[in-house]
């Protein structure tokens, strides 16, 4: 691989960075050229994007919890007591 091209390590780093900010055009082009030739990096990109999608979907649906479990009266009382004590000290 010629020195001006990105290797897999560099591409994985830039792919991750591109998820958090815009990369310059020449870097985006070098990534695309590499991705046309490298199945592993295509998978890496797809999988980190999938990881993001999973985390965000989870955030949106985290209300779907088991509605039958509740904080026990003892625990509730204990937490209230601790919070009251802590509020006085702050």
Partner 1 sequence: MVNARYLFFLNLFISSVIGVRMTQIAAKNSASGSKPDPETWVDQYGDYLYRFALMRIKDQAVAEDLVQETFLAALRGRDNFKGRSGVKTWLSSILKHKIVDYLRKKSRETVITDIDMITETVDGFFHNNGSWKIQPKKWDTDPSKIYEQREFMDTLFNCLAKLPDRLSKVFMLREMEGHSTKEICNALQISSTNSWVMIYRARVFLRHCLEHSWFDKTKVENR
Binding site for partner 1 (CB under 8 A): 1, 7-10, 12-13, 16-17, 20-21, 40-41, 43-44, 47-48, 50-59, 61-67, 69-72, 75-76, 78-80, 82-84, 86-87, 90
Query: Rounded to an integer, what distance in angstroms lies between the CA atom of residue 39 and that of residue 61?
Result: 32
* Shorter beta-carbon distance to partner 1: residue 29 or 50: 50
Query: Rounded to an integer, what distance in angstroms lies between the CA atom of residue 2 and that of residue 9?
Result: 15
Minimum distance, C-beta of residue 42 to partner 1, in the bound complex (Å): 9
* Shorter beta-carbon distance to partner 1: residue 28 or 52: 52
Length of the chain: 90
DSSP per position, 24-60: PHHHHHHHHHHHHH-HHHHHHHHHHHHHHHHHHHHHH
Minimum distance, C-beta of residue 20 to partner 1, in the bound complex (Å): 5
Q: How many other β-carbons are positioned within 10 Å of the β-carbon of residue 48? A: 14
* Shorter beta-carbon distance to partner 1: residue 8 or 29: 8
């Amino acid at each position: 691989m010629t020195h001006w091209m990105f290797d897999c390590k560099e591409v994985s780093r830039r792919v991750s960075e591109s998820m958090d900010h815009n990369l310059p055009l020449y870097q985006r082009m070098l990534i695309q050229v590499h991705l046309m030739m490298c199945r592993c990096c295509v998978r890496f990109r797809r999988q980190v994007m999938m990881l993001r999608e999973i985390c965000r979907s989870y955030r949106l649906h985290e209300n779907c919890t088991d509605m039958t479990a509740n904080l026990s009266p003892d625990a509730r009382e204990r937490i209230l007591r601790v919070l009251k004590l802590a509020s006085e000290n702050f």
